[in-house]
Each structure stands twice: as structure tokens, then as C-alpha cells.
Structure 1
């Protein structure tokens, strides 16, 4: 019974999963998708949900620094509600302010090249989003 963490962007979705005890988050992959066709990631997400025995989904909720929810945040909420209906799993939202900044900082500290950073930044952001959720629910 694991938890799936998603960092939903306009072109990619970063994917992370929890361990079975729901203590730690591990990055899985980044998938490409077309946000104008919300079903474009369904097949890959269905495979991950089955493979990892996912029972909950956590999505990063982009907020403005003043805490208000803008257009990207509303899109994430709409997408989350769609996933909830599609996969019959509860979907939770976690404030994702500064997660990409934190992921970038961690990759810089690990001396990861710019080219490699761009390939894993969304996956790292998904790890931070999911770990934040797991820490709040322990």
C-alpha cells in the first residue's frame, strides 16, 4: 500500500513512490505528456499504480508566494479530481511552493551537470512533494 507522488508540469510529470511503510519517497521517473489531453499520461500512470500497489496519490499544488491559488494550481486541482475518478484512488494536494528550487539546490550540491539536472528535476520535485506529505502523516 504505497503512495504515488506527482509533480505535474505542462510537458512532463515527475513521479515518486513511497516505500511500503510510507516513510520515505523515491523518485521513479519523469514522463512526457500533453496537458491539453489529460488522458495522455493515463496508460503510464496505470502501469505504475499497478506495479507499485498504489493506494493514494499526492499532487503538488502550485501556489503563489502569498498563498493564493492561480491558474496552474486550479489546473492541478482539476487534474487531481480527474485522476481520482479515473483510478478510484484518493488524491491529496501538497503545497509545492519552492519544491523545484529545493530540488535544483540538491542537484547542484550533488554536482549534477546542467544537462542531467534538466532530466531529473521534475522527478526530484515529486520526491520532495511526496516526502512532505509522508512527513505530515507519520
Structure 2
């Protein structure tokens, strides 16, 4: 069951993690920030601060796959990241198919006049926003970190 309240969305990457925030009641997601460190201790410390500040009901992590939906190395790493979030913070964590979110985010930024290097600071946040919005919109299947389907209302 989807609970109303604040949710944080994550576009996981080995170097950068995009973060978005949204309210389930109004079903709108917004870019928040990019965590630009590969150091896990720094990442999770910043995530802990975001959780304290935003008090989310749940977390949503984008699950990257090949275009045909088959998993690859980043799929495994994103699942591991989601499991770590759940283990450290005890919140429900959902995985959402993120195929093409980076491409859509690039196009959105290009349309806004940001190209090339100027896109980098916002790209991961916009991808996280799209992941979280997909979750709110019920597009695709949201999976919990244990791999079971989530019930939709």
C-alpha cells in the first residue's frame, strides 16, 4: 500500500547520486541535490541528514537495466544501495525501472538551454525526479528491496 507523505528518490551512480523529493498526496517530485562523492561514509552521512530534514515515509531507488530489461552490473549495485538504505534507516525502499530516465533528463535540460558540462550538476537530480515521479504515477512496477511486488491502490 502506498502511504501519503514525503518520499525521497535516488538516481544511483558510482560517483554521483541524484536526489529528489516529492509529496505523494499531490504526486509531484522535485529535484533536490546531487551527492558528488564516491565515499560511502560521506554519502550515507548526507543521506542521514536529508532523512532527518525531510522525514520521508519511504525511499525510491531507480533500477537500471539494459533496454530489454535484463540486468547488468549497475543493476546489482543499485539493488545493493537500496538494501543498504533499508538496512541503515529502516524505511520502506522501492525500486523503480529507470530505463531512459537519464536520456529524458538530458533532453529536458537541453530544452531549458543547458548543454554539455552545464548539464552535469542538475542531470542526476532531474533523473531522480523522473524516477520518483514514475513511482507516484504508478508507471512501471515498483518492487520492494526484497524483490516482491508492491500493492497499488
Q: Which residue of 1 aligns with 2:10?
A: 6
More helix per residue: 1 or 2? 1
2:143 aligned partner: none
Contact between 1:59 and 1:91, CA under 8 Å: does it hold in 2?
Answer: yes
CA distance in 1, matches of 2:131, 2:21: 11
Q: Please, which of 59, 84, 93 is the counterpart of residue 86 of structure 2?
A: 84
Offset of 1:22 from its aligned partner? 4.9
- Is the 1:84–1:90 Cα contact (8 Å) retained in structure 2? yes
Shift of the 59–22 alpha-carbon distance from structure 1 to 2, 3 Å rule, reads farther
> Is the contact made by 2:24 and 2:136 (CA closer than 8 Å) also made in structure 1?
no
CA RMSD of superposed structures (Å): 1.5
Q: Distance in 1 between matches of 2:85 and 2:37?
A: 14
Which of 21, 24, 44 lines up with 1:17 in the alignment? 21
> What is the match of residue 32 of structure 1?
36
Change (3 A) 1:67 1:129: same
Shift of 1:20: 5.9
Segments of 5+ residues of structure 2 without an aligned counterpart are: 139-151
TM-score, normalised by the number of residues in structure 1: 0.92
Structure 1: gaps (5+ residues)? none
Q: Please, what TM-score do these two structures have when normalized by structure 2?
A: 0.83
CA distance in 1, matches of 2:25, 2:123: 25
Quote the Cα distance in structure 1 between the aligned partners of 2:14 and 2:84. Answer: 16
Q: Which of residues 108, 122, 136 is equivalent to 2:110? A: 108
Comparing 6-15 with 111-120, which one deviates more in the overlay? 111-120
Alignment partners' CA distance in 2, 1:86 and 1:22: 28
- Whole-angstrom CA distance in 1 between matches of 2:124 and 2:30: 12
Contact preservation (8 Å) 1:3, 1:54: yes
Q: Which residue of 2 aligns with 1:55?
A: 57
